[in-house]
Structure 1
Amino acid sequence: MKYRILLVAASIGLLAGCPSDDDNDVVKSYRYTVNVANLTANQPMSLLAVLTHNGDYQLFEIGQAASVELEHLAEGGSNAELIELMNSNDSVYQGISGNGLVLPGASDEVTITVDPSRYGYLSVASMFVNTNDAFVGETGLSLKSLAVGESYEMSMNVWDSGTELNDELAATIPGPAGGGEGFNATRNDSSDAVAFHAGVVSQDDGLANSALSANHRFLNPGAKVTITRVE
């Protein structure tokens, strides 16, 4: 009898040590830092919007109309609408806000925790607030190949969301150079498509009604993003 009890106990122990289907479904989350540096002379950047997502989501596509969520960021600097996508879009896992305005020459950093085998891509964006609808942004940056301690650095281009005319008027620039309106649901830019930004003209280069001066001009790249896997 004692031998039989020991045999049953050993069998149970062996079964407990075998992998189950559930073990294969264990989520392996890793931690990353996302650092964005402002490379301009006089263009404060709005709070960062940092999204982790799968391959079905794109923050923007060149030559295509900007989403309403991106329009909110590009025209008014609001990242709330993009971050809310984690609650309304199954392809977006996480939306993280930056810590505050990113002033010229400064940087901001956020930390994300994600399973890259499920949501292995990152998108990030921020508005140049002394413009009508310029933003820096990258979409679909892969997290999958980074090992612990490795970093990925990328220059960020300046994009025109194509949702607002670049009139440079104080009434339509929300940053300190204008103090005007931010988001407006009416799209008055004839292109209505995301494209490379041509830069600002400014009053110093002949646009008399512009609220901007020469020091508000910018070149590409407008910012730099560095992604580091820390865990």
Structure 2
Amino acid sequence: MSIIKQMTHKRLTASMVIATLFTLSACSDNDNDAMDTPEPTPVPTQDYRVTVTNLTANQPMSPIALIRHSADMTAWQTGGSASLPLETLAESGDSAGFADMDGVDALVNGQGVLPSGMTESIELKLSQDEVSSISVLTMLVNTNDAFAGLNSVSLVDLTINTKVTFSSIAYDAGTEANSEAKGSIPGPADSGEGFNAMRDDVDRVHAHPGVISADDGLADSVLSASHRFDNPVLSISIERLR
């Protein structure tokens, strides 16, 4: 091998060694950087459990709607006209419209229809800046437009391991006449129509007067005495877990 070839070979070998050392050094730096990068601090949460019990004899409740919202928002106003989301829920059990209301931060739904005598719990994990107020709504599905729930309850002052319990009467959305007629009730007693945009009642929210039923002389009613209800219709508890 000539001297020129030997020198060229040595230069190439030296270059390869330098390149290898540089690569190892870069890998070492990257590993150190990865090891030195602190993991993000978990955001502490305040955890709550909302438990709803259906107290009626034969009024299944539509899937529970749990709404987290600002303190100045109300889901309904007794004596006032029902909002479109409230009308829709009270006539069909569909709560989706509340998600688009001003002041609403989140809408969580229960697993499904809540049968008479049954209980369901929904848990919430909220960061400190998310803690405000909640409302709970559900429809008595064997009615024209009855609903029940909690209206704007603050979570701010609820301390750890504390539980508060409320009772809810049945409210009438005032958007659909309580005819109890065939085809007008979405529940299993009729499997009729749900939401109807026409308002043919007093157009104000008020305490529900109750079900009459065919057994009590309302000839056109598809309901029976089993569908009648006394107040309260729901028991609702809110517990702060941590």
State whether TM-score is above 0.5: yes
Q: Which residue of 2 aligns with 1:208?
A: 219
Q: Does 1:186 align with 2:202?
A: no
For the Cα contact (< 8 Å) 2:71–2:154, is it kept in 1? no
Q: Which residue of 2 aligns with 1:80?
A: 96
Following superposition, the deviation at residue 28 of structure 1 comes to: 5.7
Q: Which residue of 2 aligns with 1:63?
A: 79
How far apart, in 2, do the equivalents of 1:187 and 1:215 lie? 27
Following superposition, the deviation at residue 100 of structure 1 comes to: 0.7
Runs of 4+ in 1 over 4 A off after TM superposition: 115-119
Q: Does 1:128 align with 2:161?
A: no
Instruction: Decide which of 69, 72, 75 is 1:53's aligned counterpart.
Output: 69
For the Cα contact (< 8 Å) 2:53–2:234, is it kept in 1? yes
Q: Does 1:30 align with 2:41?
A: no
Q: Does 1:144 align with 2:172?
A: no
Q: Which residue of 2 aligns with 1:104?
A: 116
Following superposition, the deviation at residue 113 of structure 1 comes to: 2.2
Partner amino acid, structure 2, of 1:32: Y
How far apart, in 1, do the equivalents of 2:92 and 2:130 lie? 32
Following superposition, the deviation at residue 120 of structure 1 comes to: 1.6
TM-score normalised by the chain length of structure 1: 0.83
Structure of higher CA gyration radius? 2
Q: Which residue of 2 aligns with 1:4?
A: none
Instruction: Decide which of 212, 215, 239 is 1:228's aligned counterpart.
Output: 239
How far apart, in 1, do the equivalents of 2:147 and 2:56 lie? 12
TM-score normalised by the chain length of structure 2: 0.79
How far apart, in 2, do the equivalents of 1:76 and 1:116 lie? 34
- The number of residue pairs the alignment matches comes to 201
Gaps of 5+ in 1: 1-26
CA shift digits 1:41-92 (9 cap, x unpaired): 000000011111112210000000111001111000112222x23xx52x21
Q: Which residue of 2 aligns with 1:44?
A: 60
- Closer, same or farther in 2 for the Cα pair 1:222/1:116, shift >3 Å? farther
For the Cα contact (< 8 Å) 2:46–2:127, is it kept in 1? yes
3-state SS, counterpart of residue 183 of structure 2: helix
Q: Which residue of 1 aligns with 2:12?
A: none
Following superposition, the deviation at residue 29 of structure 1 comes to: 3.6
CA shift digits 1:101-124 (9 cap, x unpaired): 100000111112234665421100
Q: Does 1:167 align with 2:183?
A: no
Gaps of 5+ in 2: 1-42
CA shift digits 1:113-146 (9 cap, x unpaired): 2346654211000000000000112111121121
Following superposition, the deviation at residue 94 of structure 1 comes to: 1.4
3-state SS, counterpart of residue 152 of structure 1: strand
Q: Which residue of 1 aligns with 2:37?
A: none
- Closer, same or farther in 2 for the Cα pair 1:229/1:220, shift >3 Å? same
How far apart, in 1, do the equivalents of 2:182 and 2:86 lie? 22
How far apart, in 2, do the equivalents of 1:176 and 1:193 lie? 26
For the Cα contact (< 8 Å) 2:145–2:175, is it kept in 1? yes
Partner amino acid, structure 2, of 1:50: L
For the Cα contact (< 8 Å) 1:93–1:119, is it kept in 2? no
